[in-house]
Structure 1
Amino acid sequence: MNISIDEAIQILKQHDLLVKSELISQKNADYISYNSKDIKDNTLFFCKGASFKEEYLIDAVNKGVTTYISEVEYSVKNVNKIIVKDIQKAMSLLSALYFKNPQDNLFIIAYTGTKGKTTSSYLTYTILEKMNNKKTALFSTMDRIVGKKAGMKFKSDLTTPESLDLFRDMRNAVDNGMTHLVMEVSSQAYKKNRVYNLKYDVGIFLNISPDHIGKNEHPTFEDYLYCKKQIMANSKICIINKDTDHFDEVLKEAQAHVSEEKIYLYSQKDDVVDFKFSDIKTVPTKGKFKISSQSDKAKKMNVDDEYVVNIPGIFNESNSVAALISTALAGASKENIKQGLSTTVVPGRMEVIETKNHGYVYVDYAHNYASMKALLSFAIGNHPKSKIIVVVGSTGDKGISRREGFAKALSEYANIAFLTTDDPGFEDPQKICEEIDSKIDHKKVKVNIVLDRIEAISEALEMSNKESVVIIAGKGADPYQKIKGIDTPYPTDSVVARTVLDDID
């Protein structure tokens, strides 16, 4: 592959991003990169990041860079210079160009929401796999799947990666025969223009609640909401959960960009929607719900029926409805949808362990007040006589508001809490736990601070009995702890729990 320098400049002009260009050669670039350690001969290089230094560019030029693009002009000689207003937007546009616009060859279903993105994406992915004979790519918080052969599935570093990596993976997916893509879109993806100018065939807004507010994330909730709403501005068809907070604002964003016929609403509570769902029976290991079409455009899709979802909780029934609507719009049959929902497994999301002598154990990624409240209320609803024991921590360096949210949820629903370590980053995990503990109502909840997460899980399980529910929250299937800039290997909550139970159950 290569990229025409002249065409690159024309696209930057079209988007009003070009400040100036100084060219010593019109030769096409044969490679693109933003990493000075990943350079080949005749590379176009993006100088990105607040901490970028000229020495990185000098090193890259010595290795083979012939064109650099930057918001800052450097004194490096004998290289093409393209100066732009926004390097992230420029990288997204030119990455799509270099990889031959692979998005045009994929039916893309994209999810955003404070909680439920990963579960909804897996549900959608599984349904589409039934529909198109395993030709679906997946870009999720946990996994990236670009094909079906060995080496085409790998762990994700970011919910939504840098644009260059995103379009490269799309190109690989197309070249590997994939026809559909399911992807999560984070608020940071719009905050940092990682998905600039990318359009989705179907975009879904699941929900929003205060999260990701802090010095390294969004400065305010308003900024967070604004970024989340951008998925509505970049989708050909919009699906919205009417039960979400700030629904009116999200709907207005969709209405500003597509016609009413291209907007689908669903709800458990409201009749003035296209699809209404009702819980039939939620049990500790599965959910069952009914879909009723309320509008003419919904009735045409012929999806009214009862469905079983292989993940418990009414909130996962809601996620299932989003997956049902989006895949039906992609052409999935009712049978495809039923098969997909009933067989989906999401590692670390409402993973249920039914024990002999220690009740039920739930491993879930719940990492803020909204998701923790949903998880704990589910536990109480399904196990009303059980003692609720929770193992949880909070991340360092980001999501500071989560700490008070955890304390609130624990005070409302838990009997016993083990506060422990969860990706402390550069913060002291003891202080993080103490901050959560300071907000807990100790008249309602007995609190234990056990920093070793494996030990905390062990103590919680050893304390439990047949009348207990143990909830291990926050990390899900994450196989590491982020400690002082290092991803330290960790066996995952599920593996730890099962290992302990093998010894004591």
Structure 2
Amino acid sequence: MTKQLSDILHGVSYTTDEVVSGIAIRAVVADSRKVEPGSLFVCVKGLVVDGHDYVAAAAAKGAVAIIANRDRMQTLSRDHSLPILWVRDTRKAMGNIAAAFYDHPAAGLIMVGLTGTNGKTTTSYILEEVIRCAGGNPGVIGTINYRYGGGEFPAPFTTPEPLELQRLLREMVNSGVTHVVMEVSSHALAMYRIQGLLFDVALFTNLTRDHLDYHFTMEAYYQAKKRLFVDYLKDSGVAVIVVEASEDDWGRRLYDELSAARKGGLGALIACGLGIAGCDISAHNPVFRCGETRVAVQTSRGQVDVCSNLVGTFNLKNIVAAVGVAAGLRIDLASVTKALAQTIRVPGRLEAISVPGCQGLPSVFVDYAHTPDALQSVLTTLRQLAPARLFVVFGCGGDRDPGKRALMGEIAGRLADVVIITADNSRSESTESIMSEIERGVVMAGMERLDNHQKGDRGFALISARVQAIAYAIDLATAADIVLVSGKGHETYQITVKGSQFFDDRQEASKALAAKVQKMNNEGGE
């Protein structure tokens, strides 16, 4: 693919002393290692390295033009003869340039953006089925993977960087995708990864404590999320907001602020909630059973009778959110009802783990819950299933918000009967130090330590090796108990100071269950 530089600069405000006409661009890159002859090199300042320091390297590999920040005019290397185009923010410019380079693929798609702390991934799976049942051909960009054209592809980021994102959208258009459901992270919004896109429908699921190592305050976190609706939603677009009953709910605040801004007759605003008066989409008096949720969801166009395999209040909110997005897309209620009746399996989201061979095993679930609110939600849901004892195995990530560690410990100690504190992705931090911070919260909840891993009815233990922690919990549990392995969900790696290595909670839980079956069989034969 070759484009003229002047053609891919539309919408980009820049200054230069050079002539840009007649310069052919074969690739747009932000990594000097990926430069090839004919590349436009965009200098992006990252968290660790700054692309402005690699201009000479890009020039040596065949770059034909440079995009750089204006604040580097006095310090940028000039050991080359390449034209430099100066912009205010190279990240923002890169989004627009990438969209133009790939011929604005989103223009041929119906775009749905999902943002919020929790619920995005499950909602994306529901919407994928809704769009399919309505006759559309969905593509999904999200945390677990990217899905389109019958294929599934690894997801390095929840929301890709602009160049990868626009390339992906172009491939989706070429494969016949009609609707794209995209999880939009707060990092992506803060870093302009979706610059150059406008969405037809945008959903806000919730906002709870997470990513404060990056945003520092909840207010800054909220403002990043709000940008999806203020900067990236079409004037005719529909904003769908999940609201809670509490007055200090972030969703309620967003709804009120968008309502005030949209009095001029811009696109619609849809409020979704559970038993909350005044909501456009509402669910009342749900019935939860093991493996089943039944509820009637009221909409302005009629009632959706839901019978879903997704269980728990938090999943009901995801269902209501999906119904709201479907309303924004003007999808008929029959298609919505049909989609919600399908078995929807979301990898690592309250995923049941089982092995053949024995009926006397505990119920084991793997979930991605890695925030205080998510952990509380999933433990509350499992507690409603009335186990004899509820086990939870979890840790917290290193080099991330340390303030949530004790909070999650307190939640686990309050809602579970047996808590096994272990490693998550410790990264550069000490696993033992992280576990100690979690332990403080567990003790605050009034839970006592299980000395020498004694088989008590209630208590906590610290086992730093995650594989051993999972095995211990499953070995200790009985057929009447439930074991939750939380924090990593679908992830197939564990990151330590030594780097990344393969690790899958689902695989380790399956191994532990198989070992328990073998142990029970051996004991039964003695």
Alignment partners' CA distance in 2, 1:447 and 1:47:
50
Shift of 1:197: 4.2
Distance 1:127 1:24, change over 3 A: closer
Structure 2 distance, partners of 1:375, 1:125, is 23
After TM superposition, give the deviation of residue 24 of structure 1 in Å: 6.9
Report the alpha carbon displacement of residue 48 of structure 1 after superposing the two structures with TM: 0.9
Q: Specify the alignment match of 2:64 in structure 1.
A: 66
Which whole-Å CA distance do the structure 1 matches of 2:446 and 2:56 have between them? 62
Map 1:92-491 to 2 at 5 A.
92-132=95-135, 135-148=137-150, 152-214=151-213, 217-233=214-230, 234-235=232-233, 236-243=237-244, 245-255=249-259, 256-257=261-262, 259=265, 262-293=268-299, 298-299=300-301, 302=302, 304-341=303-340, 342-353=342-353, 356-383=359-386, 385-441=387-443, 443-444=446-447, 446-484=459-497, 486-490=499-503
Q: Match for residue 498 of structure 1?
A: 510
For residues 294-315 of structure 1, give each alpha carbon's deviation from its aligned partner in whole angstroms, at most 9, with x where no partner exists: xxxx22xx4x132122221121
- Give the whole-Å Cα distance in 2 for the aligned partners of 1:195 and 1:80: 26
Give the aligned residue type for 1:455. Q
Deviating 4+ runs (over 6 angstroms): none
CA–CA distance in structure 2, aligned partners of residues 232 and 261 of structure 1: 11
User: How far apart are residue 206 of structure 1 and its match?
Assistant: 0.6
- Superposed CA RMSD in Å reads 2.0
Distance 1:21 1:241, change over 3 A: farther
8 Å CA contact 1:240, 1:251 repeated in 2: yes
How far is 1:137 from its partner? 0.8
Report the CA distance between 1:262 and its aligned residue: 0.4
1:146·1:172 contact (CA, 8 Å) conserved in 2?
Answer: no
Contact 2:9 2:97 in 1 (8 A): no
Alignment coverage as a number of residue pairs? 486
| Contact 1:368 1:405 (8 Å CA) reproduced | no
Gaps spanning 5+ residues in structure 1: where?
none
Give how far 1:54 is off: 5.3
How high is the TM-score relative to the length of structure 1?
0.91
- Cα distance in 1 for partners of 2:266, 2:178 equals 27
Question: Which amino acid in structure 2 is aligned with residue 432 of structure 1?
Answer: I
Cα distance change on mapping 1:325 and 1:10 into 2, 3 Å: closer
Percent identity of the aligned residues? 25
Question: What SS does structure 2 have at the residue aligned with 1:110?
Answer: strand
Q: Residues 400 and 37 of structure 1: is their aligned pair in 2 closer, same or farther, counting only changes over 3 Å?
A: same
**Normalising by the residue count of structure 2, what TM-score does the alignment of the two structures yield?**
0.88
The higher radius of gyration belongs to 2
Alpha-carbon offset, residue 79 of structure 1:
1.1
Q: Is 1:26 equivalent to 2:26 in the alignment?
A: no
Check whether the contact 2:26–2:39 (CA below 8 A) recurs between aligned residues: yes
Is 1:40 matched with 2:42?
Answer: no
Give unpaired runs (5+ residues) of structure 2: 449-458, 518-526
Query: Which deviates the most, 225-234 or 478-487?
Result: 478-487
Question: CA deviation digits over 1:30-59, x for unaligned, max 9?
Answer: 211112222222111111124125563222
State the distance in 2 between where 1:480 and 1:242 align.
34
2:112 counterpart letter in structure 1: I
Residue identity matched to 1:291: V
Give the letter aligned to residue 344 of structure 2: T
Q: State the distance in 1 between where 2:123 and 2:412 align.
A: 26
CA distance in 1, matches of 2:160, 2:338: 30
